[in-house]
Structure 1
C-alpha cells in the first residue's frame, strides 16, 4: 500500500510531538534552576486519559483555557490576532473521531501568528507565560498551536526557521536562551519572528 501525505503527517506528528514536549520540559526545568522560577499555568495540564500523542494532549488541555479560545474580546489594536484566518471549529469528522479542530497553516503562517499573538498579549522572559497572558517565544508556539492553528510538525518547522534566523544574525544559540537574555527586547522578538517568516 503506497504511503500518502496524510500518513507522513501522522508519522511526523508522532515523531515531533515528543520533541516539542521535551523542549517545554527542558525550558521549565531551566527556569526552575534560575532565580525566578516559572509560575505554573492557571491549571496544570491533566493529560491522563486524553487520546493522542503527548503534544496533542497538552494542546487539547490548553485549548480549553478560556484565555486561549478566540473571542471578540481577544483583540490587538489592529484587530484579532487570528484576523484573516478561520476560527478553528469542529467538523462532523472531528466530533466522530473526538479530535481537536485544526486550521492548516504553513510554518511561515505559524510564525506570523506567533508575532501577532505576542503583539496582542505581550512578551515575557523566564517563563512560558505570565498571569496576564504574555508569552515567551516557546509559549507563543504552544498557545498558537493549542488554539488550533497548525500541527506539532508545523510548530517544529517554525522553530527550526527561528534557529536558522538566529544563526544568520550571528547568534547561533538556542532561541529560549536568546529569549531570556537580559539584552533581548520585545522589538527584537518581533524582528526575529518576521525575519524567520520571510526566510521560510
Structure 2
C-alpha cells in the first residue's frame, strides 16, 4: 500500500498532477509483490543486487501504444538470451513442480518462459524456438521426454537440473547463432 506524503503549503497540486499520481499508484498496484519490494542496492557481501532482467532495456510503450491501450512492443532477444533470462527469472522468483505457479510466486520452466515473454522480452516465436532447443538438449542427453514440462515435473528433477538444462540449451542456441 502506498502512503502519500503531505505536501508543503507552498506547493499546490494541479489536476494534471493528481491524475498522474493516481496513474502511477494504479500501475504500482498491478506489479507483483517482488517488484514492489524495496531491496538494497548493495547486499551485505558487497556485490550488487540485480534483477533478472538487469542489463536489458525495459519495454517502453509509445504514444500510439498508450492511445491504443496495448502493451509496448517487445524487446527483441535471441533464443539464447531468452533461455538465459528464463534461468535468471527462475533464480529470482523460485521454482515449483506440478503447476505453472504457486501462491508464493514460484514458477515452473514453462511459467518462467511465459513470465519472460509477458514482461516484454521476445515473441511467442522466440519462446517456441527456445523450447525446441530445450527438447534437443533433453533428447541429446538421453532423456526422451514428450515435453520440457514432463522433465520439469519429474520427481527426480531438481532446480539445479533445470538451470543446467537451460544453460546447455542456451549454449546450443548461441552456437547455432539463434
TM-score (norm 2): 0.69
Task: Provide, for residues 123-172 of structure 1, a one-character-per-residue CA deviation record: whole Å limited to 9, x for no partner.
Answer: 00000011111110010111111111111111111111111111111112
Q: Which aligned pairs between 1:34-183 and structure 2 lie closer than 5 A? A: 65-67=30-32, 73=38, 78-101=49-72, 102-173=74-145, 174-183=147-156
| Distance (Å, rounded) in 2 between the aligned partners of 1:81 and 1:138 | 16
Alignment check: 8 A CA contact 1:122 1:133 kept: yes
| Distance (Å, rounded) in 1 between the aligned partners of 2:61 and 2:37 | 19
Alignment check: 8 A CA contact 1:68 1:147 kept: no
User: How has the CA–CA distance of structure 1 residues 104 and 95 changed in structure 2, closer, same or farther, with 3 Å as cutoff?
Assistant: same
| Distance (Å, rounded) in 1 between the aligned partners of 2:71 and 2:33 | 14
Number of residue pairs the alignment of both structures matches: 137
| Distance (Å, rounded) in 2 between the aligned partners of 1:151 and 1:169 | 27
Gaps of 5+ in 2: 1-28, 174-178
How far the C-alpha of 1:104 sits from its partner, in A, is 1.2
How far the C-alpha of 1:92 sits from its partner, in A, is 2.3
Gaps of 5+ in 1: 1-63
User: How has the CA–CA distance of structure 1 residues 176 and 68 changed in structure 2, closer, same or farther, with 3 Å as cutoff?
Assistant: farther
101-110 vs 122-131, which moves further: 101-110
Stretches of 4+ moved more than 2 A in 1?
Answer: 68-78, 92-99
How far the C-alpha of 1:73 sits from its partner, in A, is 4.2
Higher relative contact order (CA 8 A, sep 6+): 1
Q: Which aligned pairs between 1:19-34 and structure 2 lie closer than 5 A? A: none
Find the structure with the greater CA-based Rg: 2
TM-score (norm 1): 0.62
Any idea what SS the aligned residue of 1:176 has? helix
Any idea what SS the aligned residue of 1:195 has? helix
Q: Cα RMSD (Å) of the superposition?
A: 2.4
How far the C-alpha of 1:98 sits from its partner, in A, is 3.5
